[in-house]
Amino acid sequence: DTAVSQTPKYLVTQMGNDKSIKCEQNLGHDTMYWYKQDSKKFLKIMFSYNNKELIINETVPNRFSPKSPDKAHLNLHINSLELGDSAVYFCASDPGQGISAAFFGQGTRLTVV
Amino acid sequence: GQQLNQSPQSMFIQEGEDVSMNCTSSSIFNTWLWYKQDPGEGPVLLIALYKAGELTSNGRLTAQFGITRKDSFLNISASIPSDVGIYFCAGQENSGGSNYKLTFGKGTLLTVNP
């Protein structure tokens, strides 16, 4: 009964490719996020969606495009992958309305070669 | 944007010792959170603090939301080997409407020697 699940867990791909990471939460939360964790373990928010609406876009290159088909899903599509995109990407969700106890998925380790 | 200073960056302690780590910010936060991350996993929420001055415990963990709303600390008492991991503080600001953004500290890597 995984609360926030993301797939795949590992993704190795060549520069220039396009790839997607999927995320689903079964907590009934209104708000979902994508975070990026770099090699120094620094966690930085990328996007936030509330009820399928984009709320936060933290100056992420437009090669990254989140899509929320419904409030339980938030997918991340990345075009023209670059070496610097290698990182661990975390999906998270919280109830919204200022209740910030975010639940994180297990992460997707993306390696661009 | 907001910046969080988390210290120490790493700690090496003996099993049974108490541990303390803290975060300070240049600006006010509405909420402080403490997370733990195990290798290969996502961060897991340990304690959430919603009011200035609030002191909250979760088992051997105690955290406080500073009165100025610009700082928080986490204490772990009687550490055990499974406490090993990276601990992150996170502060939440309300940037308007439903825009609630979490800013994370850079983490404290805790190693516990049995």
What is the SS3 string spanning B25-75? ECCCCCEEEEEEECCCCCCEEEEEECCCCCEEEECCEEEEECCCCCEEEEE
- Looking at residue B92, what is its pLDDT? 86
- Closest-CA residue in chain B for A58? B101
> Which pLDDT tens digit goes with each residue over A27-66?
999 889 999 999 999 999 999 888 888 887 787 899 999 9
Which residues in chain A touch residue B99, judged by CB atoms under 8 angstroms apart? 48, 55-56
Q: Does B2 touch chain A (CB under 8 A)?
A: no
Q: Does B88 touch chain A (CB under 8 A)?
A: yes
Mean pLDDT value across residues B51-70: 95
- Looking at residue A12, what is its pLDDT? 98
pLDDT > 90 in chain A, percent: 73
- For the beta sheet containing B55-58, the strands, ordered from the edge strand earlier in sequence to the opposite edge, are B4-7, B19-25, B71-76, B61-65, B55-58
What 3-state class would DSSP assign to B83? helix
Is residue B80 over pLDDT 60?
A: yes
Q: A102 and B33: CB-CB below 8 Å?
A: yes
- Cα separations in angstroms, B59 against B62, B79, B96, B102: 8, 11, 35, 25
Q: Does B100 touch chain A (CB under 8 A)?
A: yes
Mean pLDDT value across residues B52-71: 95
Mean pLDDT value across residues A85-105: 84
- Looking at residue B95, what is its pLDDT? 55
> Which pLDDT tens digit goes with each residue over B4-37?
999 999 999 999 999 999 999 998 988 899 999 9
Local confidence band at B60 (pLDDT 50, 70, 90 cut-offs): very high
Which residues in chain A touch residue B94, judged by CB atoms under 8 angstroms apart? 98
pLDDT > 70 in chain A, percent: 94
Local confidence band at A94 (pLDDT 50, 70, 90 cut-offs): confident
* CA B18 – CA A70 distance, rounded (Å): 45
Q: A100 and B44: CB-CB below 8 Å?
A: no
* CA B44 – CA A98 distance, rounded (Å): 19
Residue A46: count of CB within 10 angstroms of its CB: 18
Q: What angle do CA B2, B3, B7 make, to 5 degrees?
A: 150
- Looking at residue A53, what is its pLDDT? 85
- Looking at residue A60, what is its pLDDT? 86
* Whether residue B8 has a cis bond before it, omega within 30° of 0: yes
